[in-house]
Amino acid sequence: MKLENLLEGIKDYKVKGDLELDIKMVESNSKKVIKDSLFVAIKGYDYDGHDFVEEAIKNGAVAVMLDLSADLKKIKIDKSITVIITNDTRKALAIMSCNFFGHPSRKFKLIGVTGTKGKTTTTYMIKAILEKAGHKVGLIGTIANYIGEECLGNSNRTTPESVELQYLFYKMAKEKCDYVVMEVSSQSLKLDRVYGSEFDYAIFTNLYEDHISEKEHKDMKEYFESKLMLFQMTKKGFVNADDFKCVKIKKGAPECDILTYSIDNESNLIAKDITITNVSVDYRVRLNNKNERVKVNIPGRYSVYNSLAAISLATYIGIDAEKIKEALLEVVVPGRNELVPNGKGQAVMIDYAHTAESLESILESAKAYTAGKVICVFGCGGDRDSGKRPKMGEVAGRLADYTIITTDNPRTEKPEEIVLQIEEGIKKTKGKYEVILNRKEAIKKALELEGKRDLVILAGKGHETTQEIKGKKYPFDEREIVKEILGEKKDD
């Protein structure tokens, strides 16, 4: 694509060099630059793309885009290289990505799901319903990206950078997807990763205190306002009326037509007569002017909310009630209330719960249906909101019969310091606990403690198959670890 055409839609930029260049790729990662690329320098939290301009040029970039604040004296750029300067390289990258791939989000119906919790489960439920109705569906999210049943690979982040996102959209459009459903993180909205994408529908699950840190959001106000941006980008929204931010979404996005769903408050779609067991939830809801009984084989109150969100969208676009019910009965979400099958017959559940609210939800649900003890193994991620650590400790101490505090993904932090913050909370309770820093050893101890009527919950990592320590990711699939440990255990 000609550079001049690539720049369409970008305001306030200056160019020095040739605008007739034929650009083969747009890239913000200097290591991925190929011959005849345009390199866009982005200032991130850990790295500044301007420090890698020279590397990008060596790798084949024929044009570079720099931020207005860049110090040009520190960057060596040959006169043959076209230089573009703009005041917002992130937004420019998103616009150019849309241009380069031919605005692929216009070629299917795009559904965005945002909220603190429930995004992943809700997207999987929507995908299942749409596919049951005969549609071809793309999915982009925390666990992996899909076109139909084809997995395009595991995800590095909830919402990809704009270049990768538009490329995924391009592939999905090329494969004739009717719908694409994606998780839209607050961070991706704040950093303009989805800017220029044309959403048809937006869903809001809930808002809880999370993602407040130097590298994410400075406070809850900014966190909410970032999520609100999704509804300012679309005309139709579906919102959880039991969440206190519901009214503010309506006020903050007046041009978006909002429908609501709930358990407790009045809304357009209400779940009634709810039954929660150790393996499922079922409830009564009115679909197409008829009372229907819906069952989902994922336990917990949040499964009701997530399925209501999916049903709200599905009924709006006209999907038959029987198709909806069939899909929800069959849907499986990796790492969300996921029971690990094993030859020992021990009850072991893996869940992604990594906030106080989500941990409280799964522990409360588990206590209600477990005849014996609930043994909880969890830690907290490093380089993330540290304020939630004592809160999670207090929740575990109050609700679990026994807690083993361990590591999660410590990243660049010291695991011992993370654990001390968790202990601040658990010590406020009478809960029994111990600390085992090595997560595999912690899991092993939990399984050794477990009796026939007990339940072990491995919280925090869910679908993840690695553990990040000091900037490096190591293989760590809890399903395999559980099977390995139980295979080594001797029968009593």
d(CA 444, CA 337): 20
Q: What would the pLDDT profile of 170-222 be if each residue is shown by its tens digit?
A: 999 999 999 999 999 888 898 889 999 999 999 999 987 555 555 565 567 88
pLDDT exceeds 50 at position 343: yes
**Which of 142-156, 201-215, 282-296, 302-316 is predicted least confidently?**
201-215
pLDDT exceeds 80 at position 5: yes
What's the average model confidence in pLDDT over 313-334?
Answer: 95
Q: What would the pLDDT profile of 280-296 be if each residue is shown by its tens digit?
A: 899 999 998 899 999 99
Beta strands in 56-173 (DSSP E): 61-67, 82-86, 109-114, 137-140, 144-147, 150-154
Coil, helix or strand at residue 116: coil
pLDDT band at 489 (very low <50, low <70, confident <90, very high): very low
Question: What's the confidence (pLDDT) of residue 371?
Answer: 83
Domains by residue range for the chain, with CATH: 3-100 (3.40.1390.10), 104-330 (3.40.1190.10), 338-488 (3.90.190.20)
Question: What's the confidence (pLDDT) of residue 492?
Answer: 40
Going by C-alpha positions, the residue among 308, 98, 107 that lies closest to residue 200 is 107
**Which of 8-22, 43-57, 132-146, 162-176 is predicted least confidently?**
43-57
Here the tokens at position 474 are 């190591």
Q: What would the pLDDT profile of 56-79 be if each residue is shown by its tens digit?
A: 999 999 999 999 888 888 888 989
Which residue bears the tokens 């000091």? 470
What's the average model confidence in pLDDT over 440-450?
Answer: 97
Going by C-alpha positions, the residue among 325, 333, 203 that lies closest to residue 256 is 203
For residue 85, count other CB atoms closer than 10 A to its CB. Answer: 18
d(CA 219, CA 186): 12
**What is the pTM assigned to this prediction?**
0.81
Q: Compute the mean pLDDT over every residue in the chain, rounded to the nearest whole number.
A: 92
d(CA 237, CA 61): 41
Question: What's the confidence (pLDDT) of residue 381?
Answer: 96
What's the average model confidence in pLDDT over 233-254?
Answer: 92
Coil, helix or strand at residue 363: helix
| Residues 220 and 209: beta-carbon distance below 8 Å | yes
Going by C-alpha positions, the residue among 157, 108, 156, 115 that lies closest to residue 136 is 108
What's the average model confidence in pLDDT over 138-152?
Answer: 93
In this structure, the strands spanning 61-67 and 37-40 are parallel
pLDDT band at 491 (very low <50, low <70, confident <90, very high): very low
Distances (CA, A) of 440 to 39, 240, 382, 450, 490: 42, 37, 18, 16, 18
What's the average model confidence in pLDDT over 434-460?
Answer: 96
| Residues 202 and 230: beta-carbon distance below 8 Å | yes
On the CB side of 334, CA atoms within 13 Å amount to 13
Question: What's the confidence (pLDDT) of residue 490?
Answer: 43
Sign, CA torsion 332/338/343/346:
negative
Q: What would the pLDDT profile of 347-361 be if each residue is shown by its tens digit?
A: 899 998 998 988 998
